[in-house]
Amino acid sequence: MSADQSAPAVVVDDVTRVFSKRGRRTVAVDAVSFTMRAGRDLGIVGESGSGKSTLARIIMGLDQPTSGRVLVHGEDLSSKPRSRAERLRRAKLVQMVYQDPYGSLDPRQTVRSCLVEVLRLHPPRGGNVAARASELGDLVGLTPAQLDRSPVGLSGGQRQRVAIARALAVEPRLIILDEAVAALDISIQAQILNLLAELRDELGTAYLLISHDLAVVRQLTDDVVVLHHGRLVEQGETGAVLDEPAEDYTRRLRDSIPSRHWREPGMLEELTRVG
Ligand SMILES: Nc1ncnc2c1ncn2[C@@H]1O[C@H](COP(=O)(O)OP(=O)(O)OP(=O)(O)O)[C@@H](O)[C@H]1O
């Protein structure tokens, strides 16, 4: 089945994920349903253990729901891809950027060769892999010298730029950002958030942002889904949900934002300048 251009970006339909370990049963995601509309960025928020990462892994096709199903651009990714071609095609639907890209970056490889490897699997338009690798570096603000280093020689923020460039190399329709800026200093967080917003405007890639930080979610998303103990407790437009939460849980979550000052207009720009 090919991706349906008019389908919503993501449909999560009555998804439950139960983990059973040594007689202990955890319902990580509990009958969750929502739709991420095409052309809108979505945040999934909730405190630690609310099921955000489990849901992200299910949407990515890295984990299977116990019941229910997920469609990404009209495709069910829960079954194993049957061929290399299918795996490559699915990669173009959705990519993921994690909190700490360290584990997923090979320290024996330069950043450039990592990008070239991805581009060989997903040839860019025009076919010039080397030129596109340089272009991607440029796009995410890495210098040519940084591209020729191992990720070990880069800072946390620079490594996150590499992870973003690698995801973009595939030209996916959707990027899942799982706490992608959480480990970074606040000024570097601001730079990466600004970069993500710029790239979205330039390339049209949609983001599904997993975060416990509502200020980050406010910055980057149009709509939000609030999870509590694996259940969906509230959803709607991000601004409306955060300004006028219908649920006490969302209000408590909002009021515990550590970086409250980010809400003030101009604060991000100021942080970026300082950083
Ligand atoms: N592989 C697993 N085996 C057993 N339990 C798991 C597994 N993965 C997650 N869980 C449990 O499922 C629940 C939801 O975890 P999940 O990581 O999805 O939450 P989260 O909202 O992403 O949390 P955090 O913000 O801390 O990453 C937790 O109680 C967690 O302990």
For the chain, how big is the Rg over CA atoms in Å? 19
Predicted pLDDT of residue 81: 85
Q: Is 27 touching ligand 1 by the criterion CB < 6 Å?
A: no
Q: Which atom of ligand 1 is nearest to the CA of 230?
A: 14
pLDDT at 261 over 50: no
pLDDT at 275 over 60: no
Is 75 within a domain? yes
pLDDT at 257 over 80: no
Q: Is 205 touching ligand 1 by the criterion CB < 6 Å?
A: no
Q: Which atom of ligand 1 is nearest to the CA of 57?
A: 18
Is 97 within a domain? no
Is 26 within a domain? yes
Is 168 within a domain? no
Are the C-beta atoms of residues 174 and 94 closer than 8 Å to each other? yes
Average pLDDT over residues 13-32: 95
Is 144 within a domain? no
Give burial (CB, 10 Å; 0-12/13-18/19+) of 231: middle
Angle between helices 156-169 and 186-203 (to 10 degrees): 20
Average pLDDT over residues 221-226: 96
Are the C-beta atoms of residues 9 and 36 closer than 8 Å to each other? yes
pLDDT at 236 over 90: yes
Q: How many domains does the chain have?
A: 1
Is 192 within a domain? no
Q: What pLDDT, in 10s, does the model give residues 173-186?
A: 999 999 888 777 77
| Least confident stretch, 32-36, 157-161, 169-173 | 157-161
Give burial (CB, 10 Å; 0-12/13-18/19+) of 130: exposed
> What's the chain's average pLDDT?
87
pTM for the full predicted model: 0.87
How far away, in angstroms, is 35 Cα from ligand 1 center?
A: 22
Are the C-beta atoms of residues 197 and 232 closer than 8 Å to each other? no
Maximum alpha-carbon separation in the chain: 55
Give burial (CB, 10 Å; 0-12/13-18/19+) of 101: buried
Average pLDDT over residues 28-35: 98
214: domain CATH number is 3.40.50.300
Predicted pLDDT of residue 91: 92
Range of the domain at 213: 8-81+197-275
pLDDT at 100 over 80: no
Q: Which atom of ligand 1 is nearest to the CA of 51?
A: 18
Alpha-carbon span 216 to 43, nearest angstrom: 9
Is 142 within a domain? no
Is 125 within a domain? no
Average pLDDT over residues 31-57: 94
CA 205 to chain CA centroid, Å, is 11
How far away, in angstroms, is 130 Cα from ligand 1 center?
A: 40
β-sheet with 10-21: strand ranges across: 24-36, 10-21, 67-72, 75-76
ipTM exceeds 0.95: yes
pLDDT tier for residue 258 given thresholds of 50, 70 and 90: low
Q: Is 53 touching ligand 1 by the criterion CB < 6 Å?
A: yes
Q: Is 59 touching ligand 1 by the criterion CB < 6 Å?
A: no
Taking CA atoms only, the protein residue closest to ligand 1 atom 10 is 28
